[in-house]
Amino acid sequence: MDSAHTRLHFDYNAPQSLEAGLLALRKSPGAAIIAGGTDLLPSWRGGLIHPTLVIDFKHLGLSYIKAEVNRVRIGAYTTHSQMMVSELLTGYFPALPEACRQIAAPPIRNRGTLGGNLVNASPAADTAPPLMAYDAELVLVKDGSQRVVPLDKFFIGPGETLKQPDELLAEVYIPFCEPNTASKFIKMGNRRAMAIAVASVAVRISLGKAEEVLEARIALGSVAPTPIRAREAESLLVGEKLSEDVISAAAYMAQGEVAPISDIRASKEYRSRMVEVLVKRSLLAARTELKERMTGE
Amino acid sequence: MIKGSELGTSIIGKNATAIGGLEIIKGQARYCADLKIPGTLIGKLLYSKSPSAQVTKLDVSHARNLPGVAAVLTYKDVPGKNSYLYVYDDQPLLVSDIVRYQGDIIAAVAAEDEDAALSALDAIEVEYELLPGVFDPVEAMKPDSPRVWPGKDNITAHIVEEHGDIRAGFDQADIIIDNTYTTQRVEHAFLETESALAYADHDGTLIVYSSTQSPHSDRKQIARALAIPENQVRVMVPFVGGAFGGKMEATIQIHAALLAYKTKRPVRIQRTREESILTHVKRHPMTIHYRTGATKEGLLTAVKFEVISDTGPYINSGEEVLGASITLGYGPYNVPNARAEGFLVLTNNPICGAMRGFGLPQVNFAYEQQMDELAERLGIDPVEIRLRNGMKSGSTLPAGVKVLDGRGMKGTIAEAMRLSKWKDRSLIARQPEAHLRRGRGVGCSLYSTGYGAGVPDSASASLDMAADGSVLLRSGAADMGQGVHTVLAQIAAEMLGVKVSSIKLVTPDTQVTPDAGPSVASRATYVSGNAVIKAALPIRKSLLEVAAQITGLDIDLLSLRDGYLFAEGEELHLTVAGLATKALEKGLQMHAEGYYSVVLPGDYPEDEDPNKTEPFTFATHVAQVIVDIETGDIQVEKYIAVHDPGKMINIGSGLGQIAGGIVQGQGYSLMEELAVEHGYTQNLSLESYLIPTSMDVPEMEIGFVEFPYKYGPMGAKGLGEIPTAPVNAAIANAVANAIGARVRHLPITPECVLDALDKQ
Amino acid sequence: MNKIDLTFTVNGGVRTVATKPHRTLLNVLREDLDLISVKEGCSQGDCGACVVIMDGFAVNSCLVLAPQAQGSEIITLEGLAQNGELHPLQKMFIEKWAFQCGYCTPGILMSCYALLLHNPVPTPDEVKDAISGNLCRCTGYQAIIDAVMAAVAS
């Protein structure tokens, strides 16, 4: 007998307190956490997941973007639309709203959340490269404890993360960047809206007094089993001035650090090739922005 | 025939409010799934897991016993013929032994709700023994390849058409260009998936609401499968959410009828998007070997091409599509020596059938790139070379069919040149940035209206005017959004001298509206429009006779417009309603049926014999693209399209059809492809099968030239399909112009562009 | 699984529906409340035919679980016209022939209306972005954008 067609029904619980929710999560091994539902519902419908209970933490005020002294905190239930229009994020972490702007389309952005995007852990997750470039950290809570995990350790494989079934991703920390920083996000897709990334890149460059690179982050999406950092390319940049040659060398190096697959959207050869193009373009764009700032725009 | 210019044209050429438009924008339009009857069962179909297998076990006993399950049907339960009837009856409704593609249907279930229906599907025990299967048409053509049908050649049709002396033609050529072009399988992606609601009426009539292009054809097939008379089946067409050829043939309506018949309850079947992409027909993918010979002045001396078309395991409309490719594959050009050969090949790939353009888009891609390459290599302007070879009135296609009115060729080219400012193209920045290249390309097309020269093509329509001047228009022509209902209402209003708002179109209903044939082949406006005119004539005559009596004026001086009577252009303060009242009092004919046949003999001068000519229509498109030579991305920046509809009866719907066709063509050119591996479709969702979004479309400028066609209703010809055909050519030619390298397969993806650049 | 009581506001009126929790807002609106303007095109959030306005924002109703709509304010196309008077968007859609088969139209009108709620004078590019999640296979989108700009101007 087949089970290709029938789908298990599930119960729904929207707890009024974090404690109640985390307890329910711990006690129900078949539970899934729902936020915007934009990944969960298609997965359920497609027979990929079979929750017996969905728990919705929407009453717990987990939708916020707050500045503290050293960092910004974003609640896991903040939607892409909210991040897109945040002046705080646009001012200090522009690559993130830039990525959110390119996710799907408004109806999806109005429901899809930061937490959902990260936990769903698609290698193509659009918020991952910018957050990785910004050294984001994730707060995972469970009944009785919590831990903080750096984002660049969070992803283990396609759809797999360090988050345990009894944990809730509650919020994301992004530390403020050094003063002379520029960042950029570029996404390539097979059409100009509602497209899963074929390749994506987020870069962040901070320059020192002598215009040398102090900090460099190059985060890539859709070109490996998880979003990744091109660390060798980053090291190439540190201490150097951002000349065309240095940028080209870093871009070429980044291409060698990826492990893309061929799938319905693109071949692995194309993806590799695009890594070099996108890294180069984003670094050049960051350099232009830094120049304009120094010359008073 | 009545010519448009003889009448007032207060309505024709204007923008009448869409019939059904108010319902649509208020959210009240009911499509099949919106029709509700208490006690409706949910019907679901079990599709094959494999593209090529023997069904070794089929046990529905468990499924039948599940709670809430009203029926589980297999091939044993079909009272009549267990097949769809296209031209052939090779495709089973319910498979009895062999599944030949992944969309073959094994069983049909009806249950109280969706969950019970899905449980029933899961409880059906099916076992398959895989059979070898063949998935490459070139392989399938080889004598030792697995047979899709035992004992039958996989080459199911072979067409050859020759004209003149092909050898001599190539001998005369100063230049010969040989290329191979390949096109892909694409999906209609109509927003409303296949849907039907069937139930038995109290008098035993089986009523079927069907999302269809062909109500009368559906009726025939349902009756045939149920072994009941056709007059016991009533097919009605509510709003239809798009079709584009994909609902020309029956999809799930026969199964819904079967389930309703067996359960004696209303049954609804609506395909999920995945099921829809999995099962229904696709556009034929083709491989085209094309050889063009020309003089150094660019005049064609010989054209030879060969088409290999993969139709899947069932023939469907494969022969007709291939026939159209063969006939139209020379383009709108005079070809003195010609040879075209087509192979229709069976495989275990997804079944192919009618899709907007019906074989033209594929060959358009080939012949227009040939012309462009010819122009490049001879140093002739690409538009000039098309003008030199372009057809005119009186030109004949190699197949022997004559172009009665060919003014659209030069006409559309001239207007397209004007709109695109073609002569200023050298002023456009060719390299807007270091990594970007801009280019322009032209694509010309020739298409027909109707089934073709000599093929029986007819429709009936009836009109009824009441004493208050309001009118009932009955036509069996289905409107899937192309706007034919509004056009027919406009024609009726024009003929009867009333406002369009006085016309009420009766929903297509095989029990009430006469057979107009399917809304396909861009024929509905032409054939049904003429039928409406014929139906209007007796009523119009009655009205004018009464008017002549009342006014004492000569009938030839009188005319009707917007609900009033006019004499030599002057309004006489007599209403059409008033005339209608009088006419009915006198017992004059105020109801009539019109039958129009395209190929009725005897009505035409010899050199206009519709058995030897067709209402051909031309189109010229110009695309301007920007190509990123590092990523291969293609942006269609601007797009100009000029068409030749004879007479544009409704501007809104006409321009809309062209715009929609362009964007479908853009999808076909750049991003759409059904990914099939060994008969398994990989992209069964609209997330992985990509059609253009609002962010992808270019700035479009659309125009048309009007050369009223002598035999068209108000001068109109067909318009629905041709807009999508030249798009792939215009874009491919623009890309070639931009990057100096040509891509000869579809879709032209960024990877293809980089490939072409690398090979340079 | 037991049914839950969903109480929410739809087109200005408070409604209560008993439903199993795994059903979506799309199911509830179409099947339980007969708001058939809300169309099913893919059930996956890929096509936008099911877009409605929830608490002021356009959402794919096929991706909202019924219980997630508890206490929310929903607007469907049936609620766009007020007191029988068509909204300027509706009038302009007719005038500019901004629909053909009409199946995507309710979702598109809702996305456009949602845009105007937050941005009463959008640019054509903003309109394009607003409907970028609504697939249309018939019109080529241009007439839709023209209609919205004309509605804004009127």
Cβ-based contacts of C137 with chain B (< 8 Å): 188-191, 242, 244, 660, 664, 691
Buried-state track B498-527, b at ≥16 Cβ within 10 A, e below 16: bbbebbebebbbbeebbbbbbbbbbbbbbb
Strand bridging mode B564-567 / B558-561? antiparallel
Contact A36 C63 (CB under 8 A): yes
Tell me the nearest-neighbour CA distance from B12 into chain C, angstroms.
Answer: 16
Q: What is the set of domains in chain C, with CATH numbers?
A: 4-79 (3.10.20.30), 88-153 (1.10.150.120)
**Residue A297's pLDDT is what?**
53
Task: Please report, as a single letter, which amino acid is at residue A142.
Answer: K
Q: Tell me, rounded to whole angstroms, the distance of Cα B292 from its chain centroid.
A: 29
Per-residue pLDDT, averaged over B649-655, amounts to 95
Interface contact B28, partner C, CB < 8 A: yes
Task: Over range B441-469, report the average pLDDT.
Answer: 96
Supply angle C-alpha B609, B613, B618, rounded to 5: 145
Contacts B694 to A, Cβ<8 Å: 193
Burial of A24 (0-12, 13-18, 19+ CB in 10 A): middle
Does any CB of chain A come closer than 8 Å to the CB of residue B62?
yes
Q: Does pLDDT of B5 surpass 80?
A: no
Sign of dihedral through CA atoms B498, B500, B503, B508? positive
Which residue in chain A is spatially nearest to B114 when comparing CA positions? A6
- Whether C134 and B694 lie within 8 Å, measured CB to CB: yes
Nearest Cα of chain A lies from the Cα of B654 at a distance, in angstroms, of: 27
The pLDDT-based confidence of B604 (bands split at 50, 70, 90) is confident
Please give the Cα distance from B697 to B693 (Å, whole number): 7
B139 sits in the region (left: phi over 0; alpha: psi -120 to 50; else beta) called alpha
C-alpha A238/C-alpha C69 separation (Å) is 50
Q: How much is the average pLDDT of B698-703?
A: 97
Angular region, B133: left φ>0, alpha ψ -120 to 50, beta rest: left
Q: Which two tokens stand for residue C143?
A: 């007439």
For residue A21, what are its two tokens? 């929710």
Q: Is residue A2 very low, low, confident or very high in pLDDT (cuts 50, 70, 90)?
A: low
Please say whether the dihedral angle defined by the alpha carbons of residues B116, B118, B120 and B122, taken in this order, is positive or negative.
Answer: negative
Out of C90, C134, C140, name the one closest to residue B25 (CB): C90
Residues in chain A: 297
Query: Any idea what the Cα angle at residue B248 is, between residues B246 and B254, rounded to 5°?
Result: 100
Task: Nearest chain A residue to C61 by CA: give it.
Answer: A107
Judged by DSSP in three states, B667 sits in helix
Inter-chain CB proximity A41 and C59 less than 8 Å? no
Of residues B570 and B529, more confidently modeled: B529
In chain B, % of residues over pLDDT 90: 94
pLDDT at B15: 75
Q: What 3-state class would DSSP assign to C51? A: strand
Chain A partners within 8 Å of C2 (Cβ)? 11
Confidence of residue A239 (pLDDT cuts 50, 70, 90): very high
Structural domains of chain B sorted by starting position, each given as residue range(s) with its CATH number in brackets: 4-29+458-597 (3.30.365.10), 32-132+207-272 (3.90.1170.50), 391-452+610-759 (3.30.365.10)
User: Length of chain B, please?
Assistant: 760
Q: CA geometry: angle at B63 spanning B60 and B68, to 5°?
A: 145
Q: Which residues of A touch B633 (CB under 8 A)?
A: 188
pLDDT value at B4 more than 90? no
Strands of the B570-575 sheet, one edge to the other: B558-561, B564-567, B570-575
First to last CA, chain C: 51
Residue B2 predicted with pLDDT over 60: no
DSSP E strand boundaries for B80-205: 98-99, 105-111, 125-130, 155-163, 175-182, 195-200
pLDDT of residue B742 exceeding 90, the answer is: yes
pLDDT, position B602? 63
The stretches in chain C having pLDDT less than 70 are: none
Give the confidence band of B7 by pLDDT, cuts at 50, 70, 90: very low
Amino acid identity at B562: D
Instruction: Identify the pLDDT of residue B601.
Output: 67
- The token pair at A274 is 């695009």
Structure ipTM? 0.98
Nearest-by-CA chain B residue for C102 = B24
Token pair of C108 as six digits? 């598109």
Asked if B239 and B30 count as a contact pair (C-beta separation under 8 A), the reply is yes
Query: Any chain C CB within 8 A of the CB of A37?
Result: yes
Separation of alpha carbons A247 and A286, rounded Å: 11
Query: Which residues, 6+ apart, have CB-to-CB distance to B185 below 8 Å?
Result: B282, B283, B284, B285, B310, B349, B350, B352, B673, B674, B676
Residues of B in Cβ contact (< 8 Å) with A2: 121-124
Nearest CA in chain A to C3: A11
- Cβ(B8)–Cβ(B2) under 8 Å? no
B366 pLDDT exceeds 90?
Answer: yes
Q: Give yes or no for C148 touching A (CB within 8 A).
A: no
Task: Judge if pTM exceeds 0.95.
Answer: yes
Contact partners for chain C, using 3 or more CB pairs closer than 8 A, are A, B
The reported pLDDT for the residue numbered A293 is 87
Residue B760 has pLDDT above 50, yes or no: yes
Please count the other Cβ atoms lying within 10 Å of the Cβ belonging to residue B334. Answer: 17
User: Between chains, do A274 and B696 touch, taking CB under 8 Å as contact?
Assistant: no
Q: How far is A246 from chain C (nearest CA, A)?
A: 37
Q: What CA–CA distance (Å, rounded) separates B72 from B438?
A: 59
Nearest CB partner across the interface for B690, out of A4, A190, A274: A190
From the list C40, C33, C39, the residue with the least C-alpha distance to C8 is C33
d(CA B615, CA B717): 6
For chain C, how many residues are written? 154
- Give me B320's structure tokens: 């007709």
Q: Which residue is associated with the tokens 């009932």?
A: B472
Nearest chain C residue (CA) to A46? C44
Establish, for the pair of chains A and B, how many residue pairs have beta carbons separated by less than 8 Å.
Answer: 59
**Residues C136 and B191: beta-carbon distance below 8 Å:** yes
The residues with which B53 forms a beta bridge, in sequence order, are: B99, B130
B556 Cβ under 8 Å from any chain A Cβ: no
Residues B141-196: tens digit of each pLDDT: 999 999 999 999 999 999 999 999 999 999 999 999 999 999 999 999 999 999 99
Is B123 in CB contact (< 8 Å) with chain A? Answer: yes
Give the nearest chain A residue to B752 (CA atoms). Answer: A270
Let me know: does B172 contact B293? Beta carbons within 8 Å: yes
Is the minimum CB–CB distance between B258 and chain C shorter than 8 Å?
A: no
pLDDT in tens, A194-206: 999 999 999 999 9
How high is the pLDDT of residue B529? 98
pLDDT band at B1 (very low <50, low <70, confident <90, very high): very low
Q: How far apart are CA A202 and CA A210, in angstroms?
A: 24
Cβ–Cβ below 8 Å for B694 and A193 = yes
Please tell me which of the candidates C40, C105, C142 has its beta carbon nearest to residue B700: C142
pLDDT, residue B600, reads 73
Distance CA B583, CA B577 (A): 10
Per-residue tokens: A209? 């007094």
Q: What is the percent of chain B where pLDDT is above 70?
A: 98
Q: Residues of C numbered 88-147 whose beta carbons fall under 8 angstroms of chain B's beta carbons: which are they?
A: 90, 93-97, 99-106, 109, 128-129, 131-145
Which of A39, A108, A120 has the highest number of chain C CBs within 10 A, making it the mutation to test binding with C?
A108
- Count of A-C CB contacts under 8 Å: 91
Q: Check CB contact under 8 Å for C21 and A10.
A: yes
Cα–Cα dist B666/B417, whole Å: 21
Q: How far apart are the first and last CA of chain A?
A: 68
The alpha carbon of residue C14 is apart from the nearest alpha carbon of chain A, in Å, by 21
Q: H/E/C letters for each residue in chain A?
A: CCCCCCCCCCEEECCCCHHHHHHHHHHCCCEEEECCCCCHHHHHHCCCCCCCEEEECHHHCCCCEEECCCEEEEECCCEHHHHHCCHHHHHHCCHHHHHHHCCCCHHHHCCCEHHHHHHHCCCCCCCHHHHHHCCCEEEEEECCEEEEEEHHHHEEECCEECCCCCEEEEEEEEECCCCCEEEEEEEECCCCCCCCCCEEEEEEEEECCCCEEEEEEEEEECCCCCCEECHHHHHHHCCCECCHHHHHHHHHHHHHCCCCCCCCCCCHHHHHHHHHHHHHHHHHHHHHHHHHHHCCC
Question: What is the pLDDT averaged over residues A47-72?
Answer: 97
CB spacing of B692 vs A191 below 8 angstroms: yes
